[in-house]
Chains A and B, each alone.
Chain A
Amino acid sequence: MFGSLTERLKSVFDSVRRETRLTPESVELALREIRMALLEADVNFKVVRAFIDRVRDRAVEKAVLESLTPTQQVIAIVRDELRGLLGEGTGGLPVGSDRPQVVLLLGLQGAGKTTTTVKLARWLQGQGRHPLVVSTDVRRPAAIEQLSVLAGDVGVRVHDPDTRSDVVGRAESAVTLARSTGFDVVLVDTAGRLHIDEGLMDELERLKESLFASDLLYVADAMTGQDAIRSAGEFNRRLGVTGIVLTKMDGDARGGAALSVASVVGVPIAFVGEGERAEDLQPFYPDRLVSRMLGMGDVLSLVEKAEQVVSRDEASRLERKLRGNDFTLQDMRDQLMTVKRLGPLDRLVDLIPGMGQMASGLPDNFDPRAVIQTLAIIDSMTKGERLQYKLINGSRRRRIALGSGTTVQDVNRLLKQFVEMRRLLRSVGAASGQKKKRRARGHMRHGLGFPMG
């Protein structure tokens, strides 16, 4: 399988996490992984090069290097930049001004044009439109029959005139029929062709002109490699493509080629094909392709969730606190609440300020019940106690234990953890010399500020 981009980044940052801060060198390491992952996902070589330069520029900014959440920051940058490649276009097929609206489906051999023609007709029917489909593929054996069978199966009207060799004539007669019978869209399936086949590219130009086609959808196989921008680029140059349909996305192709096409050729992706049946077509959503590229949709949404839950201000306030001397039990509580709101913990350590640095000591079986217990204990404290832990003497500890349904030992343990965590955070916050860092790391592995199961 493809090493997922997110996984690669995580493993890079896992190895640099002990450094407590990101360095330009570790950024380079991450960039190497990003480059590798993008190339393995078939993003075009040149696109990758420019992409890496842009990510580098943003990642070596002081704010990112000094952030306590480097993984989150870099993933967010990568996601942003990937999203940027896809442009602003939205998926679907807008209603045109012409009646009938003429749509040509073009592309290389075997890309999925005929199947897509019928899928699109079905989708349009769902939008309350009245599509008519026609095949102009007089070259591939039984291509006309293929369209007729597919359309017939799902109740899409197909026009199949007797002229079996006149490409333009077949399409024109469909448009004439549509005009007289009230079909408002004509979908024209075309024969597959190579972008370097002059004769056949000319044929498409003639077809486009004589039909006054307003929409030219380039159908591209999601598994295409580096050649994608060349073929799509040439179709676009000759004919002016208005949208891309990305087929065969039901497999495990990352779709990097589509990303390159959208960015280099500058044509928006309109639909995604996800199977062989007529209903397997979806309007394109850029964020889904970005998640697919990153390889872990849930991590992506976690980043988003973390951004929502931990607002920017809150995050920087927390960071300030973590670095200063004024980290209180109240802050610890806030942080744990955040953790709780976000869900599964192992995924989250990188997303919350301070957590990444301490995570090397996190056991795999980090117990959510322990979090709940800790919260209960802190909730049983007075406001003053939360802000000034030194107030909590023996009798207060007994009261807190009683109030939270725990034992004095539990309260003691929590306080010990808190004190240790505070000390640790100070040393991380002030970390400058190597020695200091190494010492902090040693401590982190054993005693951690957070409760563990």
Chain B
Amino acid sequence: MSLVDRLRRGLRRTTDQLFGRLDTLTSERRRSLDSGGGPEATASIDTLEALEEILIEADLGVVATNRLIDAARGHVDGRDLLASVKGELCRLLDFRPMPSGSVPCPKVVLVVGVNGTGKTTTVGRLARLAIQEGQRPVICAADTFRAAAVEQLRVWAQHVDAEFVSARAGADPAAVVFDAITCGKARQCDIVLVDTAGRLHTQVNLMGELDKIRRVAGRAISGAPHETLLVLDATVGQNGLHQARKFLESSGVTGIVLTKLDGTAKGGIVAAITADLGLPIRYIGVGEQLDDLLPFSATDYVDALFRSSW
């Protein structure tokens, strides 16, 4: 299955809903234009309102929605309207991560986020991706807090056959990270993937713990963590923006992983996040299995959201 097909499969529900609505929206519009009755301006306002509803219900938020609608305003023809919104969304989301100069060895990737978003699963999947690219990953179980979090990750590590470094429950997560990086260096691994405990962005002491992890990692290998991925659940609403802002401020997030796009939620808050914080979306999750993680592509994402049949 091609990447786009898999993405589409994941987003099928979403798009079905969207098409349905955009289709009705245009046909209604056409009818009102055909009948020659209503002035075009009225139809256009109806259309914009329907569009507003779609975008807000996709969790883009009022600000990002208004921005898109402003960009789209003025287009009379339905086709142009959609193209304009799509173009604007793509422009917002299309972010190429800066190519890092020299590749550190091992490269340290920290995976962070609030509780239950899919961090542990994402770490397992990133290890699978690394192996597929011919790299040797170390998986580091630095969630020493949540019950059986280590066991959960151990299962994924065994599935993908990656090095696994863990400690007993309640141990200092920074110490586990240090051990994992040391192990990665000794065994000449390419990448160390660090799973962390879920924490709400409002918990000052837990955010401080992340800071300590980062400092200790930097001591183990210079420049670490080289990447910090914030895992966001696609069902999240406007709170996602606060999460991103706080995690960016206190733990230098470099990219977003948007999970659970296989449901009916659309994760539209990422548009606000990219617009406001300039964070790129790196991967999307479209299921619970190991291969349900895909690199993010703005055009595929937006295409799949607005797959045009009109």
Which residues in A have some Cβ–Cβ distance to B below 8 Å? 1-2, 36, 39-42, 44-45, 108-112, 139-143, 145-146, 148-150, 153, 194-196, 221, 223-228, 230-231, 248, 250-253, 256-257, 276
Question: Given that A110-B116, A142-B152, A224-B236 are contacting pairs, would A248 and B58 also be in contact in the complex, using a CB cutoff of 8 Å?
Answer: no
- Do the beta carbons of A142 and B262 come within 8 Å of each other? no
A190 to chain B, nearest CB (A): 14
Which residues in B have some Cβ–Cβ distance to A below 8 Å? 13, 53, 56-59, 61-62, 114-118, 145-149, 151-152, 154-156, 200-202, 233, 235-240, 242-243, 260, 262-266, 269, 288
Contact residues in A for B59 (Cβ distance below 8 Å)? 225-227
B293 to chain A, nearest CB (A): 15
Contact residues in B for A146 (Cβ distance below 8 Å)? 146-149, 151-152
Contact residues in A for B147 (Cβ distance below 8 Å)? 145-146, 149-150, 153
- CA–CA, A42 and B60, complex, Å: 11
- Main DSSP-derived SS at the B contact region: loop
- Do the beta carbons of B237 and A248 come within 8 Å of each other? no
- CA–CA, A153 and B145, complex, Å: 13
Find the B residue at minimum CB distance from A113. B116
- Do the beta carbons of A195 and B201 come within 8 Å of each other? no
A452 to chain B, nearest CB (A): 39
- Do the beta carbons of A196 and B263 come within 8 Å of each other? yes
Contact residues in B for A2 (Cβ distance below 8 Å)? 238
Contact residues in B for A145 (Cβ distance below 8 Å)? 147-148, 151
Contact residues in A for B154 (Cβ distance below 8 Å)? 142
- Do the beta carbons of A226 and B237 come within 8 Å of each other? yes
Contact residues in A for B146 (Cβ distance below 8 Å)? 146, 276
- CA–CA, A44 and B269, complex, Å: 15
- Do the beta carbons of B152 and A112 come within 8 Å of each other? no
- CA–CA, A44 and B265, complex, Å: 13
- CA–CA, A227 and B237, complex, Å: 8
- Do the beta carbons of A225 and B62 come within 8 Å of each other? no
- Do the beta carbons of B152 and A224 come within 8 Å of each other? no
- CA–CA, A257 and B201, complex, Å: 19
- Do the beta carbons of A251 and B148 come within 8 Å of each other? no
Contact residues in B for A228 (Cβ distance below 8 Å)? 235, 237
- Main DSSP-derived SS at the A contact region: loop
- Do the beta carbons of B116 and A252 come within 8 Å of each other? no
Top 5 nearest A-B pairs (CB, nearest first) are A225-B237, A110-B116, A42-B237, A141-B155, A142-B151
Question: Given that A194-B263, A226-B56 are contacting pairs, would A142 and B116 also be in contact in the complex, using a CB cutoff of 8 Å?
Answer: no
- One of A112, A141, A257 near B151 (C-beta < 8 A): A141
- One of B56, B57, B156, B238 near A41 (C-beta < 8 A): B238
B204 to chain A, nearest CB (A): 12
Contact residues in B for A149 (Cβ distance below 8 Å)? 147-148
- CA–CA, A44 and B114, complex, Å: 22
- Do the beta carbons of B237 and A256 come within 8 Å of each other? yes
B8 to chain A, nearest CB (A): 15
- CA–CA, A228 and B235, complex, Å: 8
Contact residues in B for A41 (Cβ distance below 8 Å)? 238
- List, sorted by A's number, 30 A–B pairs whose CB atoms are closer than 8 Å: A2-B238, A40-B238, A45-B56, A109-B260, A110-B116, A110-B233, A141-B156, A142-B154, A143-B148, A143-B152, A146-B147, A149-B147, A194-B264, A223-B114, A223-B239, A223-B240, A225-B236, A225-B240, A226-B57, A226-B58, A227-B235, A227-B264, A230-B265, A231-B264, A248-B116, A250-B202, A253-B239, A256-B237, A257-B237, A276-B115
